[in-house]
Structure 1
Amino acid sequence: MQTAQQNIRIQWWVAILSITLLLIKLIAYYLTHSVSILTDALEGIVNVVAGFVGLYSLYVSAKPRDTDHPYGHGKIEFISASLEGAMIFLAGSAILFQGVMSLFNPEPLHQLDIGILLVSITGVINFIVGKVCVNNGKKNNSSALIASGKHLLSDAYSTLAIIIGLGLLYFTQWQWVDSIVAIGFSFFILYTGFSIVKSSLAGIMDEADEALLKKLVDVLEKNRKENWIDLHNVRIIKYGSTLHLDCHLTVPWYLNVHEAHKEIDILAALVRQEFGDSLELFVHSDGCLDFSCKVCEKKDCPVRKHTFEKRIEWDLHNLVSNEKHKVN
C-alpha cells in the first residue's frame, strides 16, 4: 500500500506539472508562431489528459482486492498505458499533418530567442520528471508510471530537437527548417505511442515477460536446495504493481505437510528477497516419483530406488513446461 501511495503522489506531480508546462508552451507559440513549438504544445495537451488518466488508474490499482476482483485492480494500469500510447500516436499524427501543411504555407516567425528559452525550460523539467517516473515505475512494477515517464521523456527529446531546429532557424533564417523539424519528430512520437500500446496489450494478454522469467530462473538455479528435486510449470502474471508467481515444486514424497510447507517458505523467502513484497506466490507441492531418483541429488535419501544419473540444469525452457523433469 505504501508503494501504491508513492506512485500516486508522483503521478499527482506529473498531472500538475503537465498543466503548467502546457501553458508555457502555448505562450511560446503565441509569441513565435512556430509550428515546431505548436507541435510541442499539441503533445502537451496529451500530457495533461494522460497525466490525469494515469492518476486515476493508479488510484484504482491501489484499491484492495475484493470478491469481484480477487487478483486486485492492477490490470487497469495496462488499460491506462494503452490509452496514453494511443493518445501519443494521435498527437504524432496531428503533428505530422501540421508540419506538412506549414511546409507549403509558412507563417512569419517572431521572438524566437524567447520561444527557445521557454521551451528549453519545459524540456529540462520533462526530462527530470520523466526519469523519476520511469525509475520509480520499474522499482514499484507500475506500468502506468513507466508509461507516463516514457511519455515525458519522449516529450523532452522532441523538445531538444525543436530547440536545435529553432536555433538553426534563428541563425540561418531558413523558414523550412521549422516544418522539417516538426515532421521529423512526428515520426519519433508515432513510434513512442506505438511501443507503449504494444507493451500494454502484451500485459493485458498476460504475455510472458521473458526477461523477468529469466531473472527468476537464474535466482532459483543458483540457490536450489537439496529437497527441491524438481521445479516446473513456472508462470509469472503481472497485475499492476503486483507479481503473481505460480509453480509446482517436487519434494521427497515422505515429507509431511509441515516439512513440505517449510520448503515452500524457503523458496518464497528467496524469491521475495530478490523481487520484494509486491510478489505473491502460489506454490503447489508434488511428491517425487520413481523416475525422479535419476535426477535427485539428495545424498541421504532413505527410500532411493534408482541411482543418481544427471543434474537437470533449470533454465527458461524447462521450468515453464508443465512436466516433471526426467532422464530420457
Structure 2
Amino acid sequence: MPAAVATRLSVRTFLKLSVGAALATIGLKTAAWWVTGSVGLLSDAMESFVNLAAAVFALVMVTIAQAPADEDHPFGHSKAEYFSSGFEAMMILGASLAIIWAAVHRWMAPQPLADVGVGVALSVVSSLINGGLALAMLRAARDHESIALEADARHLMTDVWTSIGVAGGVLLVPVTGLLWLDPLLAIAVALNILREAASLLRRSVDGLMDRALNDEERARIDEALRGLAGDEVRFDHLRTRRAAGAKFCQLHMHVPGGWTLARAAAQREQVEARLIDAVGGLRVTIELLPVGKEPLGVDSPGVP
C-alpha cells in the first residue's frame, strides 16, 4: 500500500482491514494444516485466531479512545488504546503457550506430513496478506501516533515471520526425514512470540503510568519557553504526559503583579500557541501566578 494512501486512512479503517485479513488467513492456514497434518502449520493457524480477537478488541478500544471528553472523563479516553495493546500482549502470550503444548505432544509422537507443497503455498499467500497490511499499518501508526495500531501491526508482522519459519521447517521435513523438525520449529516460533508479548505488555503498562513526552518533544518545549521567558515573565513546574496519541503539558507562568488580567491572558495565549507549534497536537494548561508567588505543595523543577 502506498505511503500516501496509508497516511489518509484512519486508525479504525486499518483495524477493520486487520479483521478482514485475520478471517482470510484463518481460512488459508487452517486449510494448510488440514492437508498436511503439520503441528507447525497448526500453531500458525492458531495464532491467526488470536489476530482476529486482538483486531476486534483493538477496534473497540480505538473507537472508545476517539470519543470526546465528557463529564466523567474530562481528559478524554485516549488511554483506552493501552488496554488494547495490553490485551494483544496477553493474547499473544496465550497463543505461544498453546503452541508449545501442541508441539511437545507432537514431539513425543512424531507423525509424517502430507501434501507439503500445497500447505506451504497456502501459508505463503496468508503471509503476503499479513505482511503487506502490517507494513502499511506501521507507517500509519507513526503518523497517527497510535499504540493500538502499532501493536496490531507488530502482531501481524510476528505472524509473518512465524509463517516463514514454519513453512521453511515443513519443507525440510520430507527432505531430511527428520520428523522432529516440525515440533521443534513450532516451539521456536512460540518463544519468539513470547518475546513480542513481553515487549507489548511493558509498553502498555508504561503508557498507563502517565509517561512523560520523549526527550525530543520535551527539548522543543524547553526551547520555546526559553525564547518566551524574560525579565518580566518566567516559567516553572513544567510537567508533560502522553496518553496514546494525546499529549499534555502543564506549567506555571509568572508575570508581574501589576499586569492587567487582559495583558496576562494575552501573554498566556501567545505561549500556548508557541508550544502547540513546537509539538503538534499538544494540549497546554498554564496557571498564571504573580512573580514571587509559589503555590503550596508543589516542588517539581522549573524550566531549564
TM-score (norm 1): 0.80
Could you tell me which residue of structure 2 aligns to residue 283 of structure 1? 286
Which segments of 5 or more consecutive residues in structure 1 lack a partner in the other structure? Answer: 291-319
Query: Secondary structure, in 3 states, of the residue corresponding to 2:100?
Result: helix
Q: Does 1:171 align with 2:172?
A: no
1:126, distance to aligned residue in structure 2 (A): 1.4
- The structure-2 alpha-carbon separation of the partners of 1:325 and 1:72, relative to structure 1 and needing over 3 Å to count, comes to closer
1:113 partner amino acid = G
Q: Does 1:148 align with 2:168?
A: no
Is contact 2:228–2:271 with CA below 8 Å preserved after alignment? Answer: no
Q: Deviation digits for residues 194-253 of structure 1, max 9, x if unmatched?
A: 2212211222222x24xx331122213444324355443332333343222222234455
Is contact 1:24–1:118 with CA below 8 Å preserved after alignment? Answer: yes
Percent identical pairs in the alignment equals 24
Could you tell me which residue of structure 2 aligns to residue 187 of structure 1? 191
Q: Distance in 2 between matches of 1:64 and 1:202?
A: 23
Is contact 2:221–2:278 with CA below 8 Å preserved after alignment? Answer: no
Could you tell me which residue of structure 2 aligns to residue 322 of structure 1? 300
1:283, distance to aligned residue in structure 2 (A): 1.7
Match of 1:271 among 235, 252, 275: 275
TM-score (norm 2): 0.86
Q: Distance in 2 between matches of 1:321 and 1:139?
A: 36
Q: Distance in 2 between matches of 1:122 and 1:53?
A: 21
1:15 partner amino acid = V
- The structure-2 alpha-carbon separation of the partners of 1:100 and 1:270, relative to structure 1 and needing over 3 Å to count, comes to farther
2:164 partner amino acid = L
Query: Secondary structure, in 3 states, of the residue corresponding to 1:234?
Result: strand
1:273, distance to aligned residue in structure 2 (A): 3.0
- The structure-2 alpha-carbon separation of the partners of 1:240 and 1:218, relative to structure 1 and needing over 3 Å to count, comes to closer
Query: Secondary structure, in 3 states, of the residue corresponding to 1:17?
Result: helix
Q: Deviation digits for residues 143-200 of structure 1, max 9, x if unmatched?
A: 2111111111111121122122223334323211111111111111112112212211
Could you tell me which residue of structure 2 aligns to residue 109 of structure 1? 113
- The structure-2 alpha-carbon separation of the partners of 1:115 and 1:275, relative to structure 1 and needing over 3 Å to count, comes to farther
Q: Distance in 1 between matches of 2:250 and 2:206?
A: 19
Q: Distance in 1 between matches of 2:190 and 2:45?
A: 13
Q: Distance in 1 between matches of 2:87 and 2:303?
A: 43
- The structure-2 alpha-carbon separation of the partners of 1:134 and 1:114, relative to structure 1 and needing over 3 Å to count, comes to same
1:85 partner amino acid = A
Pairwise CA RMSD of aligned residues? 2.6
Is contact 1:216–1:271 with CA below 8 Å preserved after alignment? Answer: no
**Aligned pairs, how many?**
291
Is contact 2:113–2:174 with CA below 8 Å preserved after alignment? Answer: no
